[in-house]
Amino acid sequence: MKINFRRLIPQAHTTSGTLRNSFDRRSLVVGSVQGGIGVLLAARMGYLAVFENEKYKLKAESNRVNLSLIPPRRGWILDRHGTPLASNRADFRVDIIPERMVQGDNTIARLGQLLSLSPIDMQDLHDKLDKAHGFAPVEVASGLDWERFAAVSVRLPDLPGVVTQRGFSRHYPTGPAVGHLLGYVGTASAEDYEKDRDPLLITPGYKVGKDGLEKVFEKQLRGKPGARRVEVTASGRIVRDLDTREDVQGKTIKLTIDAGLQDYAARRIGPESGAVVVMDCHNGDILAMASMPSFDPNSFSDGIGRLEWKMLSDDDHVPLRNKVLRGLYPPGSTVKPMVALSFLEAGLDPEESTICNGGLRVGNRVFHCWNRRGHGRVNMAKGIYQSCDVYFYYFAQKMGMDIIAAMARRLGLGQEFDLPVVGQSYGTVPDPAWKLKKYGREWQTFDTVNATIGQGYFLVNPLQQAVMASRIASGRQLMPRLLYSDKPSMAPSLGFPQEHLDYVHKAMSDVVNGPGTAHRAALPIPDVLLAGKTGTAQVVGLNVSSGKGGLWKYRDHGHFICFAPFDKPRYACAVLIEHGGGSGAAYPIARDVMTYLWDKQKAMDTLLEFEKQWGGTAQQRLDARYRTYSAQYGVNAPAVSPEEEKAKVRQAEDTQDEPQPIVSDAQSPAPEPVAPATPAPTPSPDGADNAGGTAQ
Amino acid sequence: MTPSVVPEAVSRQPWMMLVPLFGLVVLGAAVLYSAAGGHLQPYAFSHVLRFLIFLVMAIVISRLSRNFFRMAAYPVYGGIVALLVLVELIGAVGGGSQRWLNLGFMTLQPSELMKPAIVLVLARFYETLPPPMTASLRGLVPAGVLIAIPAVLVILQPDLGTALAICFGGAVTMFLAGLPLWWFVSAGTAALIAAPIAFFTLLHDYQRNRVMTFLDPESDPLGTGYHITQSKIAIGSGGIFGKGFGNGTQSHLQYLPEAHTDFVFATMAEEWGFLGGLFVLFVFAVILTWGMNVARQAPDRFSSLLAAGMAATIFFYVAINLMMVMGLAPVVGIPLPFMSHGGTSMLTNMICVGIMMAVNRWNQRPSSFS
What confidence tens digit (pLDDT) does each residue in A469-506 have?
999 999 999 999 999 988 877 889 888 999 999 999 99
Task: Give the H/E segment covering residue B9.
Answer: helix B8-11
Residue range A577-594: average pLDDT?
Answer: 91
Of the candidates B176, B182, B253, which has its C-beta nearest A23's C-beta?
B176
| Percent of chain A scoring above 70 in pLDDT | 94
Q: What pLDDT, on a 0 to 100 scale, did the predictor assign at position A246?
A: 87
Q: What is the pLDDT of residues A171-198, one digit of tens each?
A: 999 988 999 999 998 888 777 788 877 7
* DSSP 8-state secondary structure symbol assigned to residue B38: S
In whole angstroms, give the CA distance from residue A544 to residue A199: 58
By C-alpha distance, the chain A residue nearest B255 is: A234
Taking an 8 Å cut-off on Cβ atoms, the answer to whether B237 and A59 are in contact is: yes
Q: Where is pLDDT greater, at A517 or B287?
A: B287
Taking an 8 Å cut-off on Cβ atoms, the answer to whether B326 and A41 are in contact is: yes
Classified by CATH at the fold level, domain A66-251 comes out as Penicillin-binding protein 2a (Domain 2) (3.90.1310)
Q: What is the pLDDT of residues A128-147, one digit of tens each?
A: 888 777 677 788 888 888 88
Q: Is the pLDDT of residue A123 over 80?
A: yes
Q: Where is pLDDT greater, at A69 or A254?
A: A254
Contacts of A30 in chain B (CB under 8 A): 172, 175-176, 292, 308, 312
Q: Is the pLDDT of residue A229 over 60?
A: yes
In whole angstroms, give the CA distance from residue B200 to residue B194: 10
CB B358, CB B58: distance < 8 Å: no
Interface of B with A in 20-79 (CB under 8 A): none
List A144's β-bridge partners, or say none: A92
Contacts of A14 in chain B (CB under 8 A): 131-135, 178
Q: Is the pLDDT of residue B12 over 80?
A: no
> A–B: how many Cβ contacts below 8 A?
147
DSSP secondary structure string for all residues of A317-351: T-TTS-HHHH--B--GGGGHHHHHHHHHHTT--TT
Q: What pLDDT, on a 0 to 100 scale, did the predictor assign at position B214?
A: 66
| Percent of chain A scoring above 90 in pLDDT | 36
Q: Is the pLDDT of residue A673 over 70?
A: no
SS3 B57: helix
Q: Where is pLDDT greater, at A640 or A73?
A: A73
Q: Is the pLDDT of residue A445 over 60?
A: yes
Q: Which among B176, B240, B241, B336 is the top mutation candidate for probing chain A, defined by the most A β-carbons within 10 Å of its own β-carbon?
A: B176
Q: Return the domain boundaries, chain A.
A: 66-251, 259-653
pLDDT band at A163 (very low <50, low <70, confident <90, very high): confident
φ, ψ of residue A377 to 5 degrees: the values are: -80, 130
Taking an 8 Å cut-off on Cβ atoms, the answer to whether A15 and B273 are in contact is: no
Of the candidates B135, B238, B308, which has its C-beta nearest A49's C-beta?
B238
Q: Where is pLDDT greater, at A121 or A683?
A: A121
Q: Is B301 on the interface with A (CB under 8 A)?
A: yes
Q: What is the pLDDT of residues B43-87, one digit of tens each?
A: 899 999 999 999 999 999 999 999 999 999 999 999 999 999 988
Q: What pLDDT, on a 0 to 100 scale, did the predictor assign at position A681?
A: 39
In whole angstroms, give the CA distance from residue A530 to residue A629: 42
In whole angstroms, give the CA distance from residue A557 to residue A543: 17
* DSSP 8-state secondary structure symbol assigned to residue A248: B
Average pLDDT in chain B: 86
Taking residue A267's Cβ as centre, other Cβ atoms within 10 Å add up to 25
Q: What is the pLDDT of residues A306-325, one digit of tens each?
A: 888 888 888 888 888 899 99
Burial (CB count within 10 angstroms: exposed 0-12, middle 13-18, buried 19+), residue B104: exposed
Q: Is the pLDDT of residue B129 over 60?
A: yes
In whole angstroms, give the CA distance from residue B151 to residue A171: 71
In chain A the first and final C-alpha atoms are separated, in Å, by: 129
Of the candidates A38, A52, A235, which has its C-beta nearest B254's C-beta?
A235
φ, ψ of residue A461 to 5 degrees: the values are: -110, 160
Average pLDDT in chain A: 85
Q: Is the pLDDT of residue A678 over 60?
A: no
Q: Is the pLDDT of residue A602 over 80?
A: yes
Report the 3 state secondary structure along A117-154: CCHHHHHHHHHHHHHCCCCCCEEEEEEECHHHHHHHHC
Q: Is B356 on the interface with A (CB under 8 A)?
A: no
Q: What pLDDT, on a 0 to 100 scale, did the predictor assign at position A384?
A: 92
SS3 B278: helix
pLDDT band at A693 (very low <50, low <70, confident <90, very high): very low
Contacts of B249 in chain A (CB under 8 A): 60, 63-64, 231
pLDDT band at A689 (very low <50, low <70, confident <90, very high): very low
pLDDT band at A127 (very low <50, low <70, confident <90, very high): confident
Of the candidates B235, B315, B323, which has its C-beta nearest A48's C-beta?
B235
Give chain A's length.
Answer: 696
**Helix%, strand%, coil% for chain A, nearest 5:** 45, 15, 40
By C-alpha distance, the chain A residue nearest B290 is: A31
* DSSP 8-state secondary structure symbol assigned to residue A49: I
Residue range A81-91: average pLDDT?
Answer: 90
In whole angstroms, give the CA distance from residue B162 to residue B114: 9
Which stretch, A239-248, A363-372, A395-404, has highest mean pLDDT?
Answer: A395-404
In whole angstroms, give the CA distance from residue A617 to residue A269: 10
Q: Is the pLDDT of residue B246 over 70?
A: yes
Q: What is the pLDDT of residues A89-113, one digit of tens each?
A: 888 888 888 877 877 788 888 888 8
* DSSP 8-state secondary structure symbol assigned to residue B285: H
Give the torsion through C-alpha atoms of A473, A478, A484, A490, to 10 deg: -100
Taking an 8 Å cut-off on Cβ atoms, the answer to whether B131 and A232 are in contact is: no
Taking an 8 Å cut-off on Cβ atoms, the answer to whether B249 and A45 are in contact is: no
Q: Could you tell me the CA-to-CA distances from A339 to A396, A401, A415, A580 in Å, in that order?
A: 8, 10, 17, 24
My answer on whether omega of the bond before A293 falls inside 30° of 0, hence cis, is yes
Q: Which CATH number fits domain A259-653: 3.40.710.10, 3.30.470.10, 3.90.1720.10, 1.10.238.10?
A: 3.40.710.10
By C-alpha distance, the chain A residue nearest B279 is: A42
Task: Give the H/E segment covering residue B363.
Answer: helix B343-364
In whole angstroms, give the CA distance from residue B32 to residue A443: 99
Q: What pLDDT, on a 0 to 100 scale, did the predictor assign at position B330?
A: 79
Residue range A501-512: average pLDDT?
Answer: 93
Q: What pLDDT, on a 0 to 100 scale, did the predictor assign at position A696?
A: 47
Q: Where is pLDDT greater, at B201 or A109?
A: A109
Q: What is the pLDDT of residues A405-434, one digit of tens each?
A: 999 999 999 999 999 988 889 999 999 999
Q: What pLDDT, on a 0 to 100 scale, did the predictor assign at position A694?
A: 36
By C-alpha distance, the chain A residue nearest B313 is: A34
Q: Is the pLDDT of residue B286 over 60?
A: yes
